[in-house]
Amino acid sequence: MPVHVTINGELTDVSHIDPDTPLLWALRDHLGLVGTKYGCGIAQCGACTVWLDGDPVRACQLPVGQLEGRSVTTVEGLAGDTLHPVQQAWVEHDVAQCGYCQAGQIMSAAALLARNPTPSDAEIDAAMAGNICRCGTYLRIRKAIKSASSSLQSGVAFFDPGEATSAVNSMNEEGARS
Ligand code: FES
Ligand code: FES
């Protein structure tokens, strides 16, 4: 049975991939999207965080065959013509050390700011608690999230993958009805 998933705004046929394959490996091994990283494989470290219909999820525990009609955003789909404010803040605060966990950190941070544009320190810590950094970049992550929050408050223009996903979902639903 065909399985279509919208990935970074593109309707993608994933029928050729074993339906039990975790989304993480579908992205990395079959679709060439290697920004999403493997850390633990058991939903404990957050390295593989992507968005599913705008919410952060662990791609290592999500069978691709269960994603018919869903929308996935990876770190590759976060920026438009310019970096997402979270990515920009990550650069300004030189957050990454080895970098391995950072795609997952960025996806969790961007999801947090999409639902809560002015998080407190406690809210940041709670939202980011599932993303482990072995290099201990947590203080820079918190500073970068505050900085991205300020950019968003100042009305900086950016590509919003959440809005783009909603638009694509509406188009797909209309297409299915017609
Ligand atoms: S690789 Fe998915 S949570 Fe660690
Ligand atoms: S930057 Fe190295 S694990 Fe986070």
Dump pLDDT digits (tens) for 30-65.
Answer: 999 999 999 999 999 999 999 999 999 999 999 999
> Region 74-86: what's the mean pLDDT?
94
Q: Note the pTM of the prediction, 2 decimals.
A: 0.92
- Distance from the CA of 16 to the center of ligand 1, in angstroms? 24
Checking if the pLDDT of 118 tops 60, the result is yes
Closest atom, ligand 2, to C-alpha of 99: 1
> Region 138-162: what's the mean pLDDT?
93
Would you state the pLDDT for residue 156?
85
With cut-offs at 50, 70 and 90, classify the pLDDT of residue 86. Answer: very high
CA dihedral 30, 35, 41, 46 (to 10 degrees): -150
Ligand 2 pocket test, pick from 48, 75, 137 with the greatest ligand atom count within 8 Å of Cβ, gives 137
Checking if the pLDDT of 178 tops 70, the result is no
- Distance from the CA of 13 to the center of ligand 2, in angstroms? 33
Checking if the pLDDT of 177 tops 70, the result is no
Sign for the CA dihedral angle at 160, 166, 169, 174 comes to: negative
Domain 4-78+160-171: assigned CATH number: 3.10.20.30
Based on the number of CB atoms within 10 Å of its own CB, is 75 exposed (0-12), middle (13-18) or buried (19 or more)? buried
Q: Domain boundaries in the chain? A: 4-78+160-171, 85-153
The reply to whether 4-78+160-171 and 85-153 are identical in fold is no
Smallest-distance ligand from the CA of 23: 1
Domain 85-153: assigned CATH number: 1.10.150.120
CA distance 156 to 121: 22
